[in-house]
Structure 1
Amino acid sequence: MTEHDYQVILAKTYELTGQGKLEEFATYLADDVSWTEAAGFPYAGTYVGKEAVFNNVHKRLGTEWIGYTAEPLHYAFNGQHVMVYGRYSGTYKKSQKSFQADFVHLYTFNADNKVSQFIQVVDSYPVVKAMEG
């Protein structure tokens, strides 16, 4: 796979999760994907397997937030490892407060060109503040 191929795949995953199309998003993940949300982030933890990722991260983002987006801005490549810098934004339903926060996502692709590992680095403070009532 080329850097361009990885960027196209990841851009599609951001688009699909933003549209709530989790089943289509799942086609880009390894069955045993390891997904780590940063300490201090509301959904912090490491989740293994597609179902755990959906239930603990993406379904919550889709139901607890209005217009939650992860916008990729820059990509960096090192073999099957891809780093994405971007910006989160959204409005927490319960508080009606909005936020923006910078993130870096580190992806590792396996031999089948599926995401096998995800690690999030994020400025969690604006997210947590938006969730306060």
Structure 2
Amino acid sequence: MTTQPIDIVRAHYAASAQGNVQEMMANVSPQVRWTEMAGFPCAGTWVGPQAVAENVFAVLGRDWIGYRFELQTLIDAGDQVIGVGTYHGTFRATGKAMQARVAHVWKVQDGQIMAFEQFTDTLLVRQAMGNAP
């Protein structure tokens, strides 16, 4: 089992690239606090892997075509890891494509992801969504 925080986050991103939600959630704590930025389609703080899967990944998969995160840089800060990259996708309801830069801040303790916080340009996401809620 991988125990270094950067390796745990790297494994999450690799599973995400394959669309494997089960593997993405493999090292997520039952008490994880997962925060999607205000203005983002899945905005809020979700507690627990099931809440994250249902309120973030299922919603993005349902509402977006080809939604993905492309990792550019992974920064090792001990028990915190920062992933920097770009979101891509086409909003299903409008057919408009989106590309937005993003930073993810991860907190990993004892081999488990305890917290996640997203920072992105929500205006670019909202422009693709048009007037959708």
TM-score normalised by the chain length of structure 1: 0.89
After TM superposition, which residue ranges in structure 1, 4 or more long, deviate above 4 angstroms?
none
Partner of 2:32: 33
Partner of 1:13: 12
1:127 is paired with a residue whose SS is helix
Pairing 1:123–2:99 present: no
Partner of 1:108: 107
Q: Which moved further from structure 2: 96-105 or 12-21?
A: 12-21
Amino acid at match of 2:118: Q
Cα shift at 1:63: 1.3
Contact 1:92–1:130 (CA under 8 A) maintained in structure 2: yes
Q: Give me the whole-angstrom Cα distance separating, in 1, the residues matched to 2:91 and 2:102.
A: 18
Pairing 1:59–2:44 present: no
Q: Which moved further from structure 2: 17-26 or 92-101?
A: 17-26
Contact 2:6–2:76 (CA under 8 A) maintained in structure 1: no
Q: Give me the whole-angstrom Cα distance separating, in 1, the residues matched to 2:66 and 2:54.
A: 18
Cα shift at 1:11: 2.8
**Where does the alignment leave 5 or more consecutive residues of structure 2 unmatched?**
none
Percent identity over the alignment is 36
Across the aligned residues of Structure 1 and Structure 2, the Cα RMSD in angstroms comes to: 1.8
Cα shift at 1:18: 3.7
